[in-house]
Amino acid sequence: MEITGTVTTARAAGLIACRRCTTVWPAGTATCGRCGHAIASRDQLSLQKVWAWWIVGVVCYVPANVLPMLQTRTLGMVENNTIIGGAAQLADHGNWGVAIVILVASVMIPIGKFAVIAALAISVRHGSGMSQLRRQHLFELVEYIGRWSMIDVFVVALLSSLVQLGALAAVAPGPASLYFAMSVVFTMLSAQSFDSRMIWDPDTIVSRADRLRRLPGQPG
Amino acid sequence: MSQSAPIIPGPDPADLIACPRCDALYRVSEPARGERAVCARCHTVLIAPRRGAGLQLIAVALTVVILVISATIFPFLTIRVGNAWHSSSILGAALSFHGGPFVFLALAVAALIVFVPVLRALLMLYVLIPLVWDRPPATGARRAFRLSEDLRPWSMAEVFAIGCAVALVKVADLADVDFGPAFWMFAVLVVLVVAQDTFMCRYSVWKSLER
C-alpha cells in the first residue's frame, strides 16, 4: 500500500521530524518526545561531518594500500603482500577469478564509495543532473555496502588465526589491515552523517535556482 | 528557516509522520497486517506490521544469544596439511590481531562479530518481551531500543560469514579444511540476524513503547 496525498515536507509545514521514529514535533523542539533522539529540521553540520569523516577515511585508505595487508611465512621465506600485490600474485598464478573479486571488493568499491559520498555532498550545494530518487538510491546503496567492506579485515583475521602450521606456513596480519578497518569505519560514519533529506530540499541548491531564474522557460 | 515557517493550524502533529529519508509528511493510516506503507516520493518503507512478528523476533533473539555463545566456545574451522593441523575459534580470529595498536583492531573485530550481535539480541528481548505479553514497557525500554537501533550497522555477523567463505576459497588450494560445529551454528546465526531486521517494523515498536 502506498500512502496517498500530495507531498509536503515536515519542514514546509513548520514541523520537525524525528529521523528515527518518524514522529513530527512543533518547530523549536530539540528532542523527540517519543524516542528521545535529538532532532533538527535539517542537521546544519551534516555536510561538515560528512566531509570530516570522508577526509579521514581517504587518508586512512592510502596506507591501507601502500603497507602490507598480509605477511606469509612459508618454509623460512617471508613474504609481505599489499592488497593489490596479493591480487596481482593470484592473477600471475592464473587465479583470475579470485584476483578480480579482491580488486573489486578492496579497491573499486571503497573508491566508488568515496566518489559517491563526495558527489552527493557536492550535489546538495550545487545541484545535480541526476534525479533525486536516483541520488537517494545511490545513498542507500553506499549506506548498505559500507559494512561489507569489513570483509577484507575479517579475511585477514581468519587467515591469520587459521594458517598457523609452525614452520610449514604461517600468516600474520600486516599494518594495512588496521588502516583498512579504520578507513571502512570512517567511511561508514561519513555516510551516516549525511542527512538524506537534503537531497530532496530544492532551496538549498543555490546555483541551480539561479540557473533556473536565468532560464525562465526551462522546466524545473 | 524554522522560525519563519508557518505552523499549519488544526492538524495535531500526533497523527502525522514524516519519512526519515526525505521528510515527506503523511497523515498516519496504518496499513493492514502484511501490507506496507511506503513513502510516495522516495519509496522508503515507513510502516510494515506483521502478525506475530513480536513473538518471532523474541524467538530469533533468543536463538541468536544461544548460538553466538556456543559458536564462540566450539571449534570453528580446522586446517590440515599432511600431519600438521591447526584449529581456530571465532574469538581466535579476532585475537589473531595482537601487539601494539592491533589490540584495538582485535577488540573491534570481537565486538563487531560477537558482542554487538549478542547485545542487540538481548536489548530486543528486553524491549519486546513485555510488549508481546501486553505488559507496560520495561524501564528504559526506549533507551534500550534506541541503542539497539544505533548498533544496527555495527552488527557484522553476516559480513564475517561471507569473509569465512572468501578465506576458505583462499586456503582451499593449500590445505584441507574441516568445519567445526561452530561453523554451522554461525551459518544459521547469519540467516537469523538477517531475519531479525526484516521482520521488525520499527514504527510498530516505537508506537507500542509510547504506552
**A60-84: per-residue pLDDT in tens?**
999 999 999 999 888 888 989 899 9
Residues of the domain holding A179: 45-200
pLDDT at A92 > cutoff 60: yes
pLDDT at B91 > cutoff 80: yes
- Nearest beta carbon to residue A27 from set B3, B29, B41: B3
| Residue A108 sits in the same domain as residue A21 | no
Do B3 and A101 make contact, defined as CB atoms within 8 angstroms? no
Q: Is residue A206, in this structure, part of any structural domain at all?
A: no
Query: Which of B29, B76, B96, B193 has the highest number of chain A CBs within 10 A, making it the mutation to test binding with A?
Result: B96
Q: What pLDDT, on a 0 to 100 scale, did the predictor assign at position A135?
A: 93
Please provide the average confidence, as pLDDT, over all residues in chain B. 83
Q: What pLDDT, on a 0 to 100 scale, did the predictor assign at position B10?
A: 45
| Stretch B136-146: mean pLDDT | 90
Q: What pLDDT, on a 0 to 100 scale, did the predictor assign at position B177?
A: 85
Q: How many residues does chain A have?
A: 220
B33 in contact with chain A, both atoms CB, cutoff 8 A:
no
| Residue A29 sits in the same domain as residue A1 | yes
| Stretch A147-165: mean pLDDT | 89
Q: Please report the residues numbered 145 through 174 in chain B whose beta carbons come closer than 8 angstroms to any beta carbon of chain A.
A: 145-146, 149, 153-154, 156, 159-160, 162-164, 166-167, 169-171, 174
All three cell numbers of A140, joined, read 542507500
Q: What pLDDT, on a 0 to 100 scale, did the predictor assign at position A207?
A: 45
Q: Which of A124, A9, A45 is nearest to A17 (CA)?
A: A9
| Residue A58 sits in the same domain as residue A76 | yes
Q: Is residue A93, in this structure, part of any structural domain at all?
A: yes
Q: What pLDDT, on a 0 to 100 scale, did the predictor assign at position A131?
A: 87
Query: Residues of A134-162 as b/e, b for ≥16 C-beta within 10 angstroms?
Result: ebbebbbebbebbbbbbbbbbbbbbbbbb
**pLDDT tens string A192-204:** 999 999 988 875 5
| Residue A180 sits in the same domain as residue A80 | yes
Do A162 and B88 make contact, defined as CB atoms within 8 angstroms? yes
> Strand, coil or helix: what is A42?
coil
Domain count, chain A: 2
Q: Which of B8, B3, B30, B18 is nearest to B208 (CA)?
A: B30
Candidate from A90-104, A188-202, B106-120 with smallest mean pLDDT: A90-104
Q: What pLDDT, on a 0 to 100 scale, did the predictor assign at position B4?
A: 33
Q: Which of B66, B96, B6 is nearest to B188 (CA)?
A: B66
| Residue A131 sits in the same domain as residue A182 | yes
Q: What pLDDT, on a 0 to 100 scale, did the predictor assign at position A175?
A: 93
B211 in contact with chain A, both atoms CB, cutoff 8 A:
no
User: How many Cβ atoms from other residues are within 10 Å of residue B22's Cβ?
Assistant: 25
pLDDT at B148 > cutoff 90: yes
Please provide the average confidence, as pLDDT, over all residues in chain A. 85
| A191 close to B14: Cβ distance less than 8 angstroms | no
How far is A215 from chain B, CA to nearest CA, in Å?
A: 27
A133 in contact with chain B, both atoms CB, cutoff 8 A:
yes
| Residue A20 sits in the same domain as residue A54 | no
Q: How far apart are the first and last CA of chain B?
A: 33
Complex prediction ipTM:
0.84
With beta carbons under 8 A apart, name residues in chain A contacting B41: 7, 133, 200
| B17 close to B46: Cβ distance less than 8 angstroms | yes
Q: What pLDDT, on a 0 to 100 scale, did the predictor assign at position A203?
A: 59
With beta carbons under 8 A apart, name residues in chain A contacting B167: 154-155, 158-159, 162
Candidate from A22-31, A173-182, B77-86 with smallest mean pLDDT: B77-86
Q: What pLDDT, on a 0 to 100 scale, did the predictor assign at position A182?
A: 96
| Residue A10 sits in the same domain as residue A55 | no
- Percentage, residues of chain A above pLDDT 90: 38
Candidate from A176-185, B42-51, B142-151 with smallest mean pLDDT: B42-51
Q: What pLDDT, on a 0 to 100 scale, did the predictor assign at position B191?
A: 84
| Residue A63 sits in the same domain as residue A29 | no
Q: Is residue A73, in this structure, part of any structural domain at all?
A: yes
* Maximum average pLDDT range among A25-34, B44-53, B146-155: B146-155
B102 in contact with chain A, both atoms CB, cutoff 8 A:
yes
- Comparing B37 with A4, the larger pLDDT belongs to B37
Instruction: For residues B187 and B183, give the distance between their C-alpha atoms in angstroms, rounded to a whole number.
Output: 6
Q: What pLDDT, on a 0 to 100 scale, did the predictor assign at position A129?
A: 83
Q: Is residue A218, in this structure, part of any structural domain at all?
A: no
Do A17 and B25 make contact, defined as CB atoms within 8 angstroms? yes
Q: Is residue A220, in this structure, part of any structural domain at all?
A: no
Q: What pLDDT, on a 0 to 100 scale, did the predictor assign at position B13?
A: 66
How far is B98 from chain A, CA to nearest CA, in Å?
A: 9
With beta carbons under 8 A apart, name residues in chain B contacting A148: 159, 162
| Residue A3 sits in the same domain as residue A98 | no
| Residue A131 sits in the same domain as residue A173 | yes
What's the one-letter identity of residue B115?
Answer: F
Q: Where are the beta strands (DSSP E) in chain A?
A: 8-9, 15-17, 24-26, 70-74, 77-81, 169-173
Q: Please, which pLDDT band fits residue B48 given cuts at 50, 70 and 90?
A: confident
- Nearest beta carbon to residue A1 from set B37, B43, B102: B37
pLDDT at B56 > cutoff 60: yes
Q: Is residue A110, in this structure, part of any structural domain at all?
A: yes
Q: What pLDDT, on a 0 to 100 scale, did the predictor assign at position A94?
A: 80
How far is A212 from chain B, CA to nearest CA, in Å?
A: 22
- Mention every residue, 6+ apart, whose C-beta is less than 8 A from residue A12: B5, B25
All three cell numbers of A65, joined, read 594500500
Do B13 and A11 make contact, defined as CB atoms within 8 angstroms? no
Instruction: For residues B72 and B153, give the distance between their C-alpha atoms in angstroms, rounded to a whole number.
Output: 21
| Residue A86 sits in the same domain as residue A135 | yes
